Amino acid sequence: MSKNQSSSKHKITSKQVVAICGIVVLVLLYLVTLIAAFIDSSSSGRLFGACLFATVAIPLLIWIYTWMYGKLTGRSTIADLNLGETDNSSED
């Protein structure tokens, strides 16, 4: 197999990079919160609140990014609310 075939086999998209970064941030936040709870630091309550907030906010921001990417490029994405529907306005 040549270099061109192996490098063009799988291209990482920006959506995949954003999703992986979101996963890494959430996992690190959960680990820091768990460690702070074991150490019994005074900031463990604030870290737990930040963890709860990030659990909702980070996936929401990734969804918004995916939706905006689809709108700006004109492509259908999984974030579209009308995924799977067909445009019947041209049939009238």
89 within a domain of the structure (yes/no):
no
Residues across the chain: 92
35 within a domain of the structure (yes/no):
yes
11 within a domain of the structure (yes/no):
no
Cα(57)–Cα(30) distance, rounded to whole angstroms?
Answer: 14
Give 84's pLDDT tier (boundaries 50, 70, 90): low
81 within a domain of the structure (yes/no):
no
Number of domains in the chain: 1
With residues binned 3-state (H G I as helix, E B as strand, rest as coil), the percentages for the chain, rounded to 5, are 65, 0, 35
50 within a domain of the structure (yes/no):
yes
Q: How many CB atoms lie within 10 A of CB 32?
A: 15
Identify whether the C-beta of residue 70 lies closer than 8 Å to the C-beta of residue 76.
Answer: yes
Residue ranges making up the domain that contains 61: 18-73
Reported as a single tens digit per residue, the pLDDT across 15-72 is 788 889 889 988 988 888 888 778 877 777 787 888 889 889 988 988 888 888 888 8
Supply 53's token pair.
């907030």
